[in-house]
Chain A
Amino acid sequence: MSKKSFRPDVDAPKWKGGYSPYDIIKEGTIALVVILVLTLIFAIVFGSPDEKAITVRTWSNADPIDFATTALSELNGTSTSAAYGAPYNNVPGSGQAMGPLKLEQWVGVRIPINAGKDFVISPLKSLPDQPILDQNLKTWSTASTTTQNSWLSSYGKAAAKMKVVKGQIVVNTTSAGPLPVMINDLTQMARSGALDQALVTGHGFYTTDYTKPLLFLADSGYLSNLASNQHLTGDQWGMMNETGSYPGQAWLWLYTFWYQIPPFNTSASGDALVFATMGVLSLLLLFVPFIPGLRSIPRKLKIYRLIWREHYQDSK
């Protein structure tokens, strides 16, 4: 043995036994063929899921009231996107923290989203030749914040009894200023498909960035209802699930597990806490070879005796 004492969980004995023939290229080729055949069998038998993407158009046609109330929430600042905080907008008191680490806030606003302007006002302004709408938009933009808020409040109260009459959004209020026209016109724009386009083309003709339409869709009740039907929401362990009955990202089981138990599922900083926990656990796994106790588990579990049983039998 070496001068230093032999540590069984760190050092390995030098192999003094025999060697047997081993064809690494042949083994590799066989493995590749076996995996390819398995993949082919699974692909041929089960295929793969491709649940069509939803659009603002499908959403607003399927549930115009959900759409109109979501649009209102973008204007009055109650939607998830509008109240999100960093990295999208400045909202005092928002954002998650890992104890004293307020990483989200420290990074600040990097992907600016002004929910009311980006999801409602700007798309409406892009519609050509709409004299009535233009007049209402002008009324909106020239009004004071106090007036806007009183309109929003009146519209919000009446929105509980919102109706769709002959495809038009009808709200029973006379004190909501330009809002009934704005919300109805946005709903019509959405139902025609024009809003989908207006939200993506914010950066010009070519784009590969769907941040705005995705944030808007995520504010709806429609998307989460569809996801809930497919068992995809966070409290359904949805992170590891897939549409249909395909296996999903089963390797995320531990990650999604934390979301089911306190304090993770009750804390306002649940995401941050889960991420921190998984970070610590990943580091533990990474440094297993150096952590006393942890690195002795395999020797104490004795599973290795099964793996090397021939060797132990022969060396007796």
Chain B
Amino acid sequence: MSTSEIDRQWTTRLRRRVEGKLPPEKLLPDTQPTYVSSWIYVFGIATLSSLGVVIGTGCILALRGPQWWHGSAYGHFINSMHLWSVEIFFFAMVVHLWGKFAMAAWRGGRALTWMTGVVTFLVSIGAGFTGYVSQSNFDSQWISTQAKDGINATGAGAYFNVLNLGQMLMWHIVLLPLGAIVLTGMHVLMVRIKGVVPPFEEGAEVAE
């Protein structure tokens, strides 16, 4: 097998591309530019960590099935953790969003990073919503019968039936978490590839 043949392989090309874009020292950096020194920077990792706790507690709830938490004190406690980690998740994500907006963090070819972040936010709202309608209690009865009107008004209700518990549970525990995880992964990788956005240049205000 000649070297050029190896060079042409899809696998080789993909590996070289990844190595070029994301070498190990970028993926797992041991330094940061000195301007990265504010508490506002912790809200990205705080959002990521709460997503971890949301998924972890969700997995424990999944072990015994959707009805478990109604009848078991331990199950109810795991549900409480699931709820509060979601509250913390959105809390951290919103502060992260405000912070990144204040920094205009899309500058320097980081627009796609911003956009994956916004889409992750929207997907998370969907994931949260399907969770609320999958609780199988009074809350989900009310929320689903109300939300159907909004979703039906877009035409989507004909396919995305919020009154169908099985469908909502599947979206909540498979499709939307998968979307949130993939999007978050892309978002974090893009941050690592491009690095943290540098400060505005003083005096640059006159340029536009």
**Interface of A toward B, CB cutoff 8 Å:** 5-15, 17-25, 27-28, 31-32, 34-36, 38-40, 42-44, 46-54, 86-87, 96, 98, 103-104, 106-108, 110-111, 207-211, 214-215, 217-218, 223, 226-227, 232-234, 238-239, 242-243, 246-247, 249-252, 269, 271-272, 274-275, 282, 285-290, 295-299, 301, 303-304, 306-308, 310-312, 314-315
Contacts and interface: CB of A to CB of B under 8 A. Distances in A.
User: Which 9 pairs across A and B sit closest by C-beta, in order of nearness?
Assistant: A208-B166, A12-B108, A103-B155, A289-B106, A110-B158, A87-B158, A43-B80, A218-B145, A42-B84
Interface residues on B, range: 35 or more
Contacts of B7: none
24 contacts: A5-B207, A9-B104, A9-B107, A12-B198, A20-B31, A22-B30, A31-B49, A39-B57, A39-B85, A42-B84, A96-B152, A103-B154, A104-B152, A208-B165, A209-B163, A209-B167, A226-B138, A233-B146, A238-B146, A285-B118, A288-B114, A295-B104, A299-B104, A312-B199
A39 B53 contact: yes
Given A13-B198, A239-B146, 20 more contacts: A7-B207, A12-B110, A12-B197, A22-B31, A24-B28, A28-B45, A32-B49, A35-B50, A47-B77, A49-B137, A50-B69, A54-B138, A207-B166, A208-B164, A209-B161, A210-B164, A232-B143, A272-B153, A287-B115, A290-B111
A249 B186 CA distance: 26
A15 B110 CA distance: 15
A29 to B, nearest CB: 9
A62 to B, nearest CB: 13
A279 B101 CA distance: 20
Contacts of B99: 307
Interface in B161-206: 161, 163-167, 169, 195, 197-202, 204-205
Given A104-B155, A208-B169, A251-B90, A53 B136 contact: yes
**Residue of B34, B150, B169 most packed against chain A (CB within 10 A):** B150
**Residue of B88, B145, B199 most packed against chain A (CB within 10 A):** B199
Given A12-B107, A286-B115, A250 B153 contact: no
Contacts of A311: 34-35, 37, 199
A43 B84 contact: yes
Contact of B198 (A14, A234, A242, A251): A14
Contact of A312 (B50, B52, B102, B202): B202
B34 A308 contact: no
Nearest to B45: A31
A19 B34 contact: yes
B103 A298 contact: yes
A105 to B, nearest CB: 9
B205 A8 contact: yes
Given A214-B145, A304-B199, A243 B34 contact: no
B42 A31 contact: yes
B202 A24 contact: no
Contacts of A232: 142-143, 146
A25 B28 contact: yes
A103 B204 contact: no
Contacts of B70: 50
Contact of A22 (B32, B76, B169): B32
B93 to A, nearest CB: 8
B167 to A, nearest CB: 8
A40 B104 contact: no
Contacts of B159: 110
Nearest to A35: B49
B150 A274 contact: yes
Contacts of A210: 163-165
B139 A243 contact: yes
A209 B164 contact: yes
B6 interface: no
A53 B138 contact: yes
**Residue of A10, A48, A286, A306 most packed against chain B (CB within 10 A):** A48
Nearest to A300: B205
Given A110-B159, A312-B199, A271 B149 contact: yes
B30 A48 contact: no
A299 B197 CA distance: 14
A249 B165 contact: no
B95 interface: no
Contacts of B85: 35, 39
B208 A9 contact: yes
Contact of A50 (B79, B132, B200): B79
Contact of B88 (A14, A38, A207, A226): A38
A286 B104 contact: no
A286 B118 contact: yes
Given A15-B33, A22-B29, A307-B99, A298 B104 contact: yes
